[in-house]
């Protein structure tokens, strides 16, 4: 039997990412975001949704750029910390011993310890209510070459990424199939 509830955020689990940025005075910050995803393949566009009262929101609005850093299991503590502490009060890179990595296309730093860094330039900010959706063009991607296999394939599944589910963090589960396997000829 099922119950009917009023509309709410039940799309779970979600990717969880650490978004890094630098203000025009050179101050760096990191915010944790679970409201994020791909919007378009060509051109490559993604989105993050951020509450406008967050410290990071004004930095992104002002600089029009940021880096989305994927989160591995090893970064779970840092990810959580960056989601509950404000950059107004603490230098998160310093406090968490994270290494800022110069980005190629934006002034915002990437996080060296992240397996994938996605450099973004803001395309549009859409006020939606509690959150504003920040649509951004993906300018470049940096990957950790320790996840390259002997055939030159990037094996992201080896990075032990995490997901966010109802306020809790989980590592991704076991392999269950790949796109198109349901119609593949045997």
Strands 45-50 and 36-40 come out as antiparallel
Express each pLDDT in 86-129 by its tens digit.
999 999 999 999 999 999 999 999 999 999 999 999 999 999 99
Q: Per residue in 131-143, pLDDT tens?
A: 999 999 999 999 9
Per-residue confidence (pLDDT) for residue 11, from 0 to 100: 86
Say how far apart CA 156 and CA 172 lie, in whole Å.
11
Which position has the higher pLDDT, 118 or 7? Answer: 118
Write the secondary structure of the chain as one string of H (helix), E (strand) and C (coil).
CCCCCCCCCCCCCEECEEEEEECCCCCEEEEEECCEEEEECCCCEEEEEECCCCHHHHHHHHHCEEEEEECEHHHHHHHHHHHHCCCCCCCHHHHCCCCEECCCCCCCCEECCCCEEEEEEEEEEEECCCCEEEEEEEEEEEECHHHECCCCCECHHHHCEEEEECCEEEECCCCCCCCCCCCCCC
Tokens 């299991």: give the residue.
73
pLDDT surpassing 90 at residue 173: no
Answer yes or no: are the C-beta atoms of 161 and 70 closer than 8 Å. Answer: yes
Backbone φ, ψ for residue 82 (5° rounding) = -70, -15
Taking only the tens place, the pLDDT of each residue in 27-75 is: 999 999 999 999 999 999 999 999 999 999 999 999 999 999 999 999 9
Q: Is 80 exceeded by the pLDDT of residue 186?
A: no
Domains defined along the chain, listed by start: 14-171 (2.30.110.10)
What contacts 24, CB < 8 A, 6 or more positions away?
62, 63
**Range in 125-139, 153-167, 172-186 the model is least confident about:** 172-186
- Give the pLDDT score at 115: 97
Task: Using the predicted structure, report yes or no on whether residue 9 has a pLDDT greater than 90.
Answer: no
Are 20 and 100 contacting, i.e. CB atoms less than 8 angstroms apart?
Answer: yes
pLDDT at 175 exceeding the cut of 90 = no
- pLDDT, residue 10, reads 83
pLDDT computed for residue 109 by the predictor: 98
| Distance in angstroms (rounded) separating the CA atoms of residues 113 and 97 | 10
User: What's the CA angle centered on 68, arms 79 and 97, to 5 degrees?
Assistant: 45
Cβ 60 vs Cβ 50: under 8 Å: yes
Please give the model's pTM, rounded to 2 decimal places. Answer: 0.95
Cβ contacts of 148 within 8 Å, gap of 6 or more: 154, 155
């Amino acid at each position: 039997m099922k119950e009917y509830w009023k509309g709410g955020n039940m799309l779970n689990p979600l990717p969880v990412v650490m978004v890094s940025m630098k203000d025009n005075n050179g101050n760096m910050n990191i915010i944790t975001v679970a409201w994020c995803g791909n919007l378009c393949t060509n051109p490559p566009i993604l989105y993050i949704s951020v509450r406008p009262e967050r410290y990071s929101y004004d930095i992104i609005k002002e600089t029009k750029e940021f880096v989305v850093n994927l989160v591995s299991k090893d970064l779970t503590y840092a990810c959580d910390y960056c989601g509950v502490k404000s950059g107004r009060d603490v230098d998160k890179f310093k406090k968490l011993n994270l290494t800022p990595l110069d980005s190629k296309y934006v002034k915002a730093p990437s996080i060296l310890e992240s397996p994938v860094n996605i450099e973004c330039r803001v395309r549009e900010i859409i006020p939606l209510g509690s959150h504003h959706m920040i649509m951004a063009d993906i300018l470049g991607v940096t990957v950790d070459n320790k996840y390259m296999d002997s055939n030159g394939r990037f094996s992201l599944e080896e990075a032990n990424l995490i997901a966010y589910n109802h306020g809790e963090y989980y590592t991704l589960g076991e392999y269950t199939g790949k796109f198109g396997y349901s119609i593949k000829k045997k």
